[in-house]
Structure 1
Amino acid sequence: MAWVAGDRLQGGKYTVERELGRGRFGITYLVKNKNGDRFVIKTLNDDLLNSLNQLERERLKTMFLREAFKLQKCKHKYIVEVVDSFEEADHLCLVMEYVNEVSLADFRPSILSEPDALRYIQQIGEALIVVHENELIHRDVHPGNILLRKREGQLEAVLIDFGLALDFDHILTTSRTKETSDGFTPPELYARGTITRAYSDIYSLAATLYKLLTGRTPVDAVKRKVDGEHLVSPKEFNDRISPRVNQAILKGMQLDPKQRPQSMREWLDSLELTGETSKTETPVPPKSESNINWVAVTAIATLIAAIGTLLSGMVGWIPIFKPSPSSNPPSLSPSPSSSKTP
């Protein structure tokens, strides 16, 4: 069931303005609360759910629940923030701050200057350090998952979409080619039996820098590894790229994970990106008006780790998401104005 402009959710707490977009797994909507503050609501894609069997649907719902938990763990000014969660007509929903609708995939000009590209890469790299400190990898870093927000007259990058995030040392037990982004996914995330670590996000961020500086998506990792296709040096497409940056991109995109830098800090240091954002921020507690039941979310995550594939059917009885109110809702306390998009 797709929502349209004017639809009221949670008894009128949120009003849909329009659909923002449809990804592989989710649909995002721009909404307003009663105070006129804008937010983004993300829910699962009905078309995808209807195409899956019961076990696959439950797995997707579990991934969605885990996304909320992972976003709460990873607090950073360059990571989108979840501010609310609920269930509406059998749809699990995350409410996120509204950043902007322009991603680095849509930004013009398509080729950035080296200083501009490095500024965005540093911001996302620092955000990923926080992700990795929580022993997670994002697993889906690419220009489309990096939005641009204007703050104090300057554009800054914000990392979104933690729906595919995995724990450190997670061993892939199945091939998940539908959960990859051609040109940005490292080879180890295509094959079962591989172990996930920070080096996987390094590959993806290096590939993102490649794209920002050349306007070209790098050749897919599988084509490089299986078909022997050559990764053209980014400097061959843009001779203004410095030798240092060119080398760091190629090093970060090595097919063998052991040949890449093993930490995001190490890779950022190779780019000489050790400025103002070189220290991670102290985690900020959730806003008081947030209605996320994080105790329940944490319990869900614990259960996920403990019982794995037996999660099938679990979503139906764990009351993490608040159901649609059956009567008039209580008045809202004021929410801070936000400006982020997932």
Structure 2
Amino acid sequence: MTDSAAANNVVVVPCKYKTGRVLGQGTYATVKEAVHIETGERFAVKVLNKKLMAGREHLIRNEITVLKRVSQGHPHILALRDYFETQNNLYLVMDLASGGELFDRICEKGSYYERDAARLVRTITDAVSYLHSNDIVHRDLKPENLLFRTKEENSDLLIADFGLSRIVERERFHLLTTTCGTPGYMAPEIFRKEGYDAQVDMWAIGVITYFLLCGYTPFDRETNAEEIQAIMGAEYAFEPAEYWVGISDEAKNFVSSLLVIEPNHRLTAQAALDHPWLKRPAGVVAMDAAASDLLPQMKQNFNARRTLRKAIDMVRLLNNLSREYGVVEEHVVGSHE
């Protein structure tokens, strides 16, 4: 067959989507807003560069397998709607979550109470219970991966980013060993490198719950090494006391039942849903009885720690420059960002 004849036999499939603004950028992928040309429906498209992903194709195959297993099976899972590839790229078409990240959305509210935190945690835990029932371990649960579908007040909260997720066949007693995730939300057994299972997600829910009640994480330390050491020893406290005075004992017990070093002693997703803080209407009434608006303190704590972290990072950078290049600079860390 001649080249011209071969060319005539090539089937060209017109693209069904028109991409627009960039929503996010990663090492191997760009996430763009897209519109289905025929229906006008809006999606988010994860565009993966094949050349950059060379040798890591199994990661994409895994993500697609995971998403196909759980997509459209639960209202709080960001669903995969389509996937296709071109010569240079692979495209994952997903629901568009335009309502923003969890913490940003909380900060936009006029007020925020413990009962609001309980509702959010129940939604997250219910979705994680669904994942675990389908043998999926998310492995990167954190506020940045919890997105709202729309800007509406009653919008669904969605678990997103399944790039690190894995399928674990329970009947094969398969333990995971890869060290991955976001350090502040990673469970002790991940750092011990002895193998781990779905219970790492429950530890992450404990960290998220703590964060949603005060605005900072329980193992926040000046360095990563100190943070990891605190995680491995479950060294945390509900302190400073003034930040926790309005938080119920049930909420603290829920956190303490998840931030447990031994995974077998940690609440499972289903057991967490049965915990009084998430389950009993009476618990919500008790929260209302002594309700205090958590939002001002949360914002203050979050911003204070973000400013401190920037200051620490700057001092560390200057110290590194001094050691490597003999650069000595006087630097005053002020109160303004």
* TM-score, normalization by structure 2: 0.67
1:81-92 to 2 correspondences below 5 Å: 81-92=79-90
Please identify runs of 4+ aligned residues in structure 1 that moved more than 4 A. Answer: 150-153
8 Å Cα contact 1:114/1:241 also seen in 2: yes
Summarize deviations over 1:248-273 as a string: whole Å, max 9, x none.
Answer: 11220112213311x20111222442
Match of 2:100 among 99, 102, 113: 102
What is the root-mean-square deviation of aligned Cα atoms in Å? Answer: 2.9
**Which whole-Å CA distance do the structure 1 matches of 2:29 and 2:244 have between them?**
35
Corresponding letter in the other structure for 2:69? K
Alpha-carbon distance, 1:189 to partner: 2.1
Gaps of 5+ in 1: 1-9, 277-342
- 2:75 corresponds in structure 1 to 77
Q: Call closer, same or farther: CA 1:63–1:105 in 2, change over 3 Å.
A: farther
**Structure 2 counterpart SS, 1:273:** helix
Secondary structure (helix, strand or coil) at the match of 2:102 reads coil
Paired position in structure 2 for 1:64: 60
> Are 2:34 and 1:31 equivalent residues in the alignment?
yes
Residue 114, structure 1, aligned to residue 114, structure 2: yes
What SS is found at the alignment partner of 2:131?
helix
Q: How far apart are 1:20 and its partner, in Å?
A: 0.3
Runs (5+) with no aligned partner, structure 2: 1-12, 221-226, 282-337
Distance 2:121 2:237 in 1: 20
User: One-letter code of the match for 2:262?
Assistant: D
Say if 1:82 and 1:97, in contact at 8 Å, map to a contact too.
yes
**Partner of residue 46, structure 2:** 42
- Offset, 1:37: 1.5
2:42 partner amino acid: R
Q: Taking structure 1 as reference, are residues 186 and 234 closer, same or farther at Cα in structure 2, changes over 3 Å only?
A: farther
- Aligned in 2, Cα 1:79/1:275: closer, same or farther, shift over 3 Å? farther
The aligned residue for residue 189 of structure 2 is 188
**1:80 partner SS:** coil
**What is the DSSP-based 3-state SS (H/G/I as helix, E as strand, rest coil) of the residue aligned with 1:245?**
helix
Code of the aligned partner of 2:263: P
Give 1:223 shift.
Answer: 2.5
Q: Secondary structure at the match of 1:102?
A: coil
Deviations, residues 215-247 of structure 1 (Å, cap 9, x unaligned) = 112316622156x68312268333221111111
Task: Report the number of matched residues.
Answer: 254
| 1:157-193 alpha-carbon deviations (Å, 9 max, x no partner) | 111111111233443445x3xx321221112223433
Change (3 A) 1:167 1:33: closer
* CA distance in structure 1 between the partners assigned to 2:257 and 2:66 by the alignment: 29
Q: Which has the higher mean CA deviation after the structures are superposed, 29-38 or 231-240?
A: 231-240
Name the residue aligned to 2:175. 171
- 1:91-132 Cα distance to aligned partner (Å, 9 max, x none): 221101112251114334289421111111111211111111
Flag the structure with more relative contact order, 1 or 2, with Cα contacts below 8 A and sequence separation at least 6. Answer: 1
Deviation (angstroms), 1:11: 3.5
- Structure richer in helix, relative to its length: 2
One-letter amino acid of the counterpart of residue 37, structure 1: E
The separation in 2 between residues aligned to 1:152 and 1:101, in whole angstroms, is: 8
Q: 1:204 to 1:20 in 2, by over 3 A?
A: same
Look up the match of 1:134. 134
Counterpart in 2 of 1:207?
Answer: 207
Matched residues in 2 for 1:173 and 1:269: separation?
A: 30
Pick closer, same or farther for the CA change 1:208–1:271 going to 2, 3 Å.
farther
- Note the alpha carbon deviations across 1:126-158, whole angstroms, 9 max, x for none: 111111111121111110111013498513311
Superposition deviation, residue 275 in structure 1: 7.8
**Equivalent position SS for 2:274:** helix
The residue that corresponds to 2:274 in the other structure is 269
Q: 1:68 and 1:234 mapped to 2: Cα distance? A: 42
Distance 1:274 1:184 in 2: 24
Change over 3 Å in CA distance of 1:42–1:123 after alignment to 2: same
Which segment drifts farther, 200-209 or 145-154?
A: 145-154
Structure showing greater Rg: 2
1:45, CA displacement in angstroms?
Answer: 6.4
Shift of 1:208: 0.8
After superposition, give the CA deviation of every residue in 1:298-324 in whole Å (9 maximum; x if it has no partner): xxxxxxxxxxxxxxxxxxxxxxxxxxx
Determine if contact 2:118/2:277 at 8 Å carries over to the other structure: no
Contact 1:187 1:225 in 2 (8 A): yes
| 2:228 counterpart residue number | 222
State the alpha-carbon separation in 1 of the partners of residues 29 and 247 from structure 2.
36
Q: Distance in 2 between matches of 1:137 and 1:245?
A: 25
